[in-house]
């Protein structure tokens, strides 16, 4: 899916507005998320952006909501995010935006079929009804918790 970065008035935040959906549940002009121009963190809502500690907006938006959600991902263990039967859409910049440090066709975020988005595939916090939420069983039989309960 390709998006246009639209600046929000008074904030170094861009709305990610769809220009080329490439997915059945998304339409041209729809906002699928927000991205900080300073620290490049993204989320599906403005309130949920978790800014990095060196960002001027650190402490704003999502950080207060996510103190106990530090990602702890074992990159060696296969996870359902790589299941070809579960749709994960790569959100790509339709055109570059020099002020945000974004190049044309640069990947900006990952969006799950449940509608949740993050700048890192393994940090997407899935809806409870999503098949990727909650514990899953790794190939070796170990239970892996993808998101905190």
pTM given for the model: 0.68
Number of compact structural domains in the chain: 1
Percent over 70 (pLDDT), the chain: 70
Parent domain of 47: 2-145
Q: What is the dihedral of CA 101, 107, 112, 116, to 10 degrees?
A: 0
pLDDT by residue (tens digit) across 80-103? Answer: 666 666 678 888 899 888 877 888
What DSSP string runs through 80-130?
A: GGG-TTS-EEEEEESS-BGGGTB-TT-EEEEEETTS-EESSGGG----TTS
97-117 as b/e: b if 16+ CB within 10 A: beebebeeeeebbbbbbbebb
């Amino acid at each position: 899916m390709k998006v246009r970065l639209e600046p929000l008035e008074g904030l170094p935040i861009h709305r990610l507005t769809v220009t080329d959906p490439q997915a059945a549940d998304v339409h041209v002009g729809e906002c699928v998320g927000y991205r900080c121009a300073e620290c490049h963190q993204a989320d599906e809502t403005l309130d949920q952006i978790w800014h990095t500690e060196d960002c001027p907006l650190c402490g704003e938006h999502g950080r207060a909501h996510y103190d106990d959600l530090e990602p702890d991902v074992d990159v060696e263990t296969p996870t359902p995010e790589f299941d070809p039967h579960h749709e994960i859409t790569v959100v790509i910049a339709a055109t570059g935006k020099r002020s945000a440090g974004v190049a044309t066709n640069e990947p900006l975020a990952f969006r799950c079929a449940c509608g949740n988005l993050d700048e890192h595939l393994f940090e997407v916090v899935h809806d409870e009804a999503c098949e990727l939420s909650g514990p899953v069983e790794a190939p070796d039989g170990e239970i892996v918790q993808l998101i905190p309960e």
